[in-house]
Amino acid sequence: MPSVVSRNSISIVALAFVLFQGAAPSARLSAAEDDPSASYRRMVLMKGAWLFDRNCAFCHEKDGRGAVGPNLTDWYFLHGPTKDDLHRVVQEGVPEKGMPTWKTILKPTDLRLIEHYVWSLRGKEIKGKAPEGEKHEPEEEENPSVASQ
């Protein structure tokens, strides 16, 4: 009975299709658990930390606790708490206070990596140089110690 055989083979194909569809989402889920953007972020921060160590640690210490330059791990800011403020002060520096004008020294891509690293230091509250400037009350999503949990 050829018609039955062909109906069976159609349903086998259909079953295989359903199983395959069923498998696909779970494959996607486990890829999401792996979260490629998280490992990308880790890579950016590692490169940023490396560049910070070579260019900024001299005045801010390796972990950002501050020395000649301010502590970058607290919620106090001399030049403002936003990403734009950070970008501006790193680019332009504060030459009269000894903070170099980094846009004339480092490549824009390297400065971006450093800025990501400095941003990640906020709120680590590493004991070091006493707070300087104005206190900023962080939003919950701004606080890395909360966001990373």
Quote the least distance from Cβ 74 to ligand HEC, whole Å: 9
Contact 142, 83 (CB under 8 A): no
The stretch among 6-14, 17-25, 38-46, 78-86 that binds ligand HEC (CB under 6 A) is 78-86
Regarding 103 and contact with ligand HEC (CB under 6 A), the answer is no
Q: To which residue do tokens 């696909």 refer?
A: 24
Regarding 44 and contact with ligand HEC (CB under 6 A), the answer is no
Quote the least distance from Cβ 68 to ligand HEC, whole Å: 5
Query: In Å, how far from its chain's centre is CA 47?
Result: 11
Regarding 56 and contact with ligand HEC (CB under 6 A), the answer is yes
Q: Binding-site residue total for ligand HEC (CB under 6 A)? A: 25
Q: Look up residue 111 and give its two tokens.
A: 């400065």
Element (H, E) at 145: helix 144-147
Question: Angle, nearest 10°, between helix axes 2-34 and 36-55?
Answer: 20
Collect all residues with Cβ–Cβ distance below 8 Å to 95 and sequence separation of at least 6: 101
Contact footprint for ligand HEC (CB under 6 A): 55-56, 58-60, 68-70, 72, 77-79, 86, 89-90, 94, 97-100, 102, 114, 118, 132-133
